[in-house]
């Protein structure tokens, strides 16, 4: 029996689209064309609504439709999209619109897989927000369904960041020597809740707090840095251990308010991932540590900190004797690198992949591997045990 025979257990997930996959090969109508790619946004909450505003400023993309089951969220999405966009409360109806070329899926985590499967069956290109899908079977079902000519991009936007791409190239060229460890964090100070105008909307709006719909902090935040670590190393972890708890926000939530993960990779590298909701010190940060130095990254900036004795003076820098090398206390030498906002760059990459019929940078395989790692980490926390990589999950 094919893995696709599964049902997502979520009251937020809709039934499958009845339309069958197109019975003809995909023909790229965008080659040599200046026509904009018409995108339907499914899920117009904070992330989906924010990306609508980003897409409005990207040449070659048109936000053609919005869909959400919460009225005020749909209204906000439509306000951003403009009068020419169509409004839907049922994503299946949006998928039936043959004028829509692609969809951006920004719904609750547990609904990603079914919507992505239905969109692919309807012949739409897919930008699936992170994390790609919830649960091993759902991830592998999406992988099975996306093996065609349609573009499937996973919304790990830092994978599209030109700064991050530059850093990965530097690391692979030996900038920090042999990699020995990663230290990653994404800390915030706040309860992570959204305001709820009506009590009956609690689970819809604050779905991140409930295990039925959510992977918690691991899926929503740590996943970006897990994706980056897999990318740099070119491998997936051999084993994962995670811990955490509901230790501060005693408000009825089911997902942890702090998580701590240790990933062990086959190459011998260890990586830690921490996410707090009680202390925002240093916010978002990745440290890639090697025997010749460390690279530190935040959202849009990077620094190189050399290992060992180091002077801030060189005999010659850019041909100027005795020039002072730029240096920031605690971080080192900043990268002077101009690049687009990662979310904007990711959407530009999605556009280009469709126009060129090419594989996106954050593709099906990288997204699936990260989603599997996320599930391993969640399983480890809930079972309080080390979870080893299952060869059956290799893409």
- What pLDDT score was predicted for residue 312? 55
Share of the chain above pLDDT 90, in %: 85
- Of the two residues 321 and 328, the one the predictor is more confident about is 328
Residue 296, Ramachandran bin (φ over 0: left; ψ between -120 and 50: alpha; else beta) = beta
Q: Which residue carries 């306000």 as its tokens?
A: 79
In Å, how far are 43, 192, 395 from 146, measured between CA atoms?
A: 21, 33, 12
> Binning pLDDT at 50, 70 and 90, where does residue 306 land?
very high
Mean pLDDT within 178-201 = 97
In total, the chain counts a number of residues equal to: 395
Q: What is the mean pLDDT of residues 130-144?
A: 98
Question: Band of the pLDDT at 3, cuts 50, 70, 90?
Answer: very low
Structure-token match 């439709």, residue found: 65
Residue 9's pLDDT band (cuts 50, 70, 90): very low
Contact between residue 163 and residue 335 where contact means Cβ atoms under 8 Å apart: yes
- In the chain, the largest separation of any two C-alpha atoms, in whole Å, equals 71
Residue 361 CA to residue 160 CA, distance in Å, equals 6
106 in Cβ contact with 343 (< 8 Å): no
- Banded pLDDT at 34 (limits 50, 70, 90): confident
């Amino acid at each position: 029996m094919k893995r696709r025979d599964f049902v997502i257990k979520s009251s937020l997930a809709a039934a499958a689209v009845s339309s069958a996959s197109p019975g003809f090969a995909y023909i790229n109508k965008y080659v040599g064309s200046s026509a904009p790619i018409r995108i339907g946004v499914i899920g117009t909450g904070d992330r989906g609504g924010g990306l609508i505003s980003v897409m409005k400023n990207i040449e070659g993309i048109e936000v053609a439709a919005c869909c959400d089951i919460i009225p005020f969220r749909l209204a906000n999405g439509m306000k951003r999209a403009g009068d020419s966009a169509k409004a839907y409360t049922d994503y299946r109806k949006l998928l039936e619109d043959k004028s829509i070329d692609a969809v951006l899926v920004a719904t609750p985590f547990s609904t990603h897989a079914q919507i992505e499967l239905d969109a692919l069956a309807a012949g739409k290109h897919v930008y699936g927000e992170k994390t790609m899908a919830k649960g091993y079977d759902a991830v592998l079902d999406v992988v099975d369904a996306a093996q065609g000519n349609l573009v499937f991009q996973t919304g790990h936007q830092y994978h599209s960041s030109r700064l991050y791409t530059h850093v990965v190239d530097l690391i692979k060229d030996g900038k920090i020597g042999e990699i020995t460890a990663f230290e990653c964090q994404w800390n915030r100070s706040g309860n992570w809740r959204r305001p709820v105008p009506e009590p009956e909307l609690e689970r819809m709006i604050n779905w991140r707090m409930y295990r039925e719909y959510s992977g918690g902090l691991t899926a929503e935040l740590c996943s970006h840095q897990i994706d980056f670590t897999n990318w740099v190393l070119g491998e997936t972890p051999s084993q994962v251990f995670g811990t955490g708890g509901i230790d501060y926000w005693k408000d009825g939530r089911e997902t942890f308010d702090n998580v701590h993960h240790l990933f062990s990779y086959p190459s011998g590298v260890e990586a830690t991932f921490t996410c707090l909701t009680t202390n925002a010190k240093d916010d978002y940060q990745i440290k890639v540590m090697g025997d010749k130095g460390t690279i530190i990254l935040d959202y849009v900036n990077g620094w190189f900190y050399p290992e060992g004795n180091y002077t801030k003076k060189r005999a010659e820098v850019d041909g100027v004797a005795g020039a002072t090398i730029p240096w920031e206390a605690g971080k080192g030498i900043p990268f002077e690198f101009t690049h687009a906002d990662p979310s904007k760059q990711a959407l530009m990459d999605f556009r280009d992949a469709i126009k060129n019929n090419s594989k996106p940078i954050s593709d099906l395989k990288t997204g699936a591997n990260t989603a599997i790692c996320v599930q391993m980490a969640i399983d480890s926390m809930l079972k309080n045990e080390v979870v080893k990589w299952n060869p059956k999950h290799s893409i």
